[in-house]
Structure 1
């Protein structure tokens, strides 16, 4: 029998509901808090998000229907293929079966459109005319620009972290092609940006800074027709991304696999990791033996070194306090090439999952990640995004462990995006210009000093 490398689903089999982990957590989520330390009400979030997305953000429903019009837009590239990495397995000499969900097939080249399409659609339903957002490596900004173009009738403004804006000019071109406007952050367009530039004129920028600018630009619109969107971290984003894992479950079943032994995703804000892992956390909560691993950079060790605390999601403290693992909202990470993983905090749902023992975390240096990316590109033929290489590096670790133990395991990971616009990073790695960096614990402690007096999560 010929081996089956690609496992596809028919469009009719694409999930009709998203999965919400929140009601199944062993310990309830801590609520977002306002500056007074009291829980934020939906009405308080209304200047930033449309109410239909706020309802999803606070929902305790396990399953939430995907509107048919959103499904029609997702059909442009979904269901995405599940792929058996036979060639990678052979190169590693591992008894493990390695499968990856290829989210790089979306128009924007990553998993991000899975939530960009719903967010643009719900905002349009609410009468919103303009969306502002931030982006790190540019994948989210590209995805939202794409989503606004296909939904129609919505303007898109993107504040892109300066170091990535300079390193990845083609991402900006993608946004412009889809009708989006992209500016380097910090910028002179907002008070938050001007304040940062006055103090740190040579800053590489950060997602926390870019979020402050995007939120300010949204709430200061006198027409009231602008809202802010976030490509990760928030509960409704994790919800939309759950389609990845839900599809993967159906695809594994088609080749006779009831469950994977290991599920892996890279972690920045948490969205692609949640997308692949949350549907399997549901199984783990109900007794399944599944190891779930989040892989992050040593230079931004949110899950592996940061405490579980209440902190703001942005530098200017315009966002509510969220219970999450955080390096402190003033954290400005080293300018590594995995720009999408350079965020000081972690999604509250992912943070809660780590607290409750539903997952574990690994920090990996970028040299090991780029080496993993090169091996993957030479075996499977697809050049992965620098962010995605963190997941691949963790997969290789687990595959080697299976070889040492002589165990046949099924390893599933999320191929969160291709790296065809990140080749400058590969070039620098191949020329010996990239160096590993471990964020000092002393710097983390210094950042956290500024959070004294903040409430503590339960």
Structure 2
């Protein structure tokens, strides 16, 4: 391993980047079932006013409050940008591979970036409790910590398949003070409905979102909802990743025009967008020819096989409808280990970029992903989360194309979290019992 960029707090950006004004076409608004546009007042029923303002903002840059900047710095931002020289050597490639390592953050993933921002704005408006969903548990862990930092109670509905696969994630959330329920649960009407249909229901992010929103709507204003991906304000907060990366690359003599590929995994889209959107800004301005690769599991192929249409963000239809690439809000994905990528749709902003072919989607099976994760761990020393290992798989395939010739492309990817709480999945791969989906 070789650290190639300085960890200097001056690198932390003072503003988040909002891609909405730069999109190649106008972002379709959220709508109600009757076709009417869902205005800010609809969103304010479950989100604090400032986050709703960010959700609909057309400002290209949004100031990061000083309190959040301080927490970013205390948590370890800027996160390391590392050149994967050992991986390059193993692949015998001419490519230069850099990864932004978000796994050094508290709770082990990039989710901390938006968790502290959302908790801060909720605290400012006097919110006492937040409800959320989580897949693999990275988002739930990050929000649980943020709630502890700001004195807000956290309730997490964790997809049942991951709740059973990853008990250490649940313990981490509870250590931070959160309540954690397997979803579908017996706590909500929505959860009880799905359990009655199937007592062994594996759950889905769509169902867990429905449970969290029902909880908020029945709280009579004492709770708000917090989301870990998909919506604009969430993606906005994550752009700290890409903005830092641009500065770190520049500090070692690599300009934005030198970057050939930017790669990230996609569930709802937050970690891919967090790295790529600041780079896509230059692509949309016509200043670069960078190729953007968004990676998903074959088991949940929302980008590669989903339809681009309006759909609910949750299984019970409690949210407004969003125009996005979707497999349908009733889709129940198989219980793959990459629980954070088991969402039926993707971010509306990312969907616009997919439609306009600014971003190229690819999909891999579980076995391909864990094979890449093991190779990366053996060369770079970091065990990637199963979600992040999707990006590693794509990077490996790209890099192998440059084993001959004189081209030396620069590949940048987001290693969005570590897999030290996901070793059960690696164990299944290593002992040959992993189900390939």
* SS of the residue 2:107 aligns to: coil
Paired with 1:120 and 1:271, the residues of 2 have a C-alpha distance of 17
Tell which deviates more after alignment, 347-356 or 227-236: 347-356
- Of 200, 223, 229, 1:226 maps to 223
TM-score normalized by the length of structure 2: 0.98
Q: Please say if residues 4 and 252 of structure 2, whose CA atoms lie closer than 8 Å, have aligned partners that are also in contact.
A: no
The answer for the alignment partner of 1:285 in structure 2 is 284
Paired with 2:305 and 2:317, the residues of 1 have a C-alpha distance of 22
* SS of the residue 1:413 aligns to: strand
The answer for the alignment partner of 2:268 in structure 1 is 269
The answer for the alignment partner of 2:50 in structure 1 is 52
Aligned-CA RMSD value: 1.0
Paired with 1:82 and 1:225, the residues of 2 have a C-alpha distance of 41
Q: Please say if residues 308 and 351 of structure 2, whose CA atoms lie closer than 8 Å, have aligned partners that are also in contact.
A: yes
The answer for the alignment partner of 1:391 in structure 2 is 391
* SS of the residue 1:146 aligns to: helix
Q: Please say if residues 8 and 80 of structure 1, whose CA atoms lie closer than 8 Å, have aligned partners that are also in contact.
A: no
The answer for the alignment partner of 1:183 in structure 2 is 181
Matches within 5 A, 1:93-132: 93-132=92-131
* SS of the residue 1:33 aligns to: coil
Paired with 1:242 and 1:353, the residues of 2 have a C-alpha distance of 16
Tell which deviates more after alignment, 347-356 or 127-136: 347-356
Alpha-carbon distance, 1:251 to partner: 0.4
The answer for the alignment partner of 2:248 in structure 1 is 251
The answer for the alignment partner of 1:367 in structure 2 is 367
Paired with 1:18 and 1:263, the residues of 2 have a C-alpha distance of 19
Matches within 5 A, 1:12-411: 12-75=10-73, 76-152=75-151, 154-222=152-220, 224-259=221-256, 260-287=259-286, 288-404=288-404, 406-411=406-411
Alpha-carbon distance, 1:405 to partner: 5.3
Work out the number of aligned pairs and report it. Answer: 433
Alpha-carbon distance, 1:406 to partner: 4.5
Alpha-carbon distance, 1:200 to partner: 2.0
Alpha-carbon distance, 1:130 to partner: 0.2
Q: Please say if residues 292 and 360 of structure 1, whose CA atoms lie closer than 8 Å, have aligned partners that are also in contact.
A: yes
The answer for the alignment partner of 1:446 in structure 2 is none
Alpha-carbon distance, 1:5 to partner: 2.8
Paired with 1:4 and 1:175, the residues of 2 have a C-alpha distance of 32
Alpha-carbon distance, 1:434 to partner: 1.1
Q: Please say if residues 2 and 84 of structure 2, whose CA atoms lie closer than 8 Å, have aligned partners that are also in contact.
A: no
Q: Please say if residues 232 and 271 of structure 1, whose CA atoms lie closer than 8 Å, have aligned partners that are also in contact.
A: yes
Alpha-carbon distance, 1:9 to partner: 3.5
Paired with 2:2 and 2:417, the residues of 1 have a C-alpha distance of 22
Paired with 1:12 and 1:281, the residues of 2 have a C-alpha distance of 23
Paired with 1:124 and 1:234, the residues of 2 have a C-alpha distance of 20
Q: Please say if residues 377 and 384 of structure 2, whose CA atoms lie closer than 8 Å, have aligned partners that are also in contact.
A: yes
Alpha-carbon distance, 1:8 to partner: 2.2
Q: Please say if residues 2 and 85 of structure 2, whose CA atoms lie closer than 8 Å, have aligned partners that are also in contact.
A: no
* SS of the residue 1:261 aligns to: strand
Q: Please say if residues 95 and 409 of structure 2, whose CA atoms lie closer than 8 Å, have aligned partners that are also in contact.
A: yes
Alpha-carbon distance, 1:404 to partner: 4.6
* SS of the residue 1:233 aligns to: coil
The answer for the alignment partner of 1:424 in structure 2 is 424
Paired with 2:203 and 2:232, the residues of 1 have a C-alpha distance of 25
* SS of the residue 1:395 aligns to: helix
What CA deviation, in whole Å up to 9, does each residue of 1:46-95 have, x standing for no partner? 11101110000000100000000111111121110100000000000000
Give structure 1 stretches of 5+ with no counterpart.
438-458
What CA deviation, in whole Å up to 9, does each residue of 1:93-150 have, x standing for no partner? 0000000000000011000000000000000111100000000000000000011111
TM-score normalized by the length of structure 1: 0.93
* SS of the residue 2:106 aligns to: coil
Alpha-carbon distance, 1:4 to partner: 5.3
Tell which deviates more after alignment, 83-92 or 69-78: 69-78
Give structure 2 stretches of 5+ with no counterpart.
none
Q: Please say if residues 197 and 203 of structure 1, whose CA atoms lie closer than 8 Å, have aligned partners that are also in contact.
A: yes
* SS of the residue 2:402 aligns to: helix
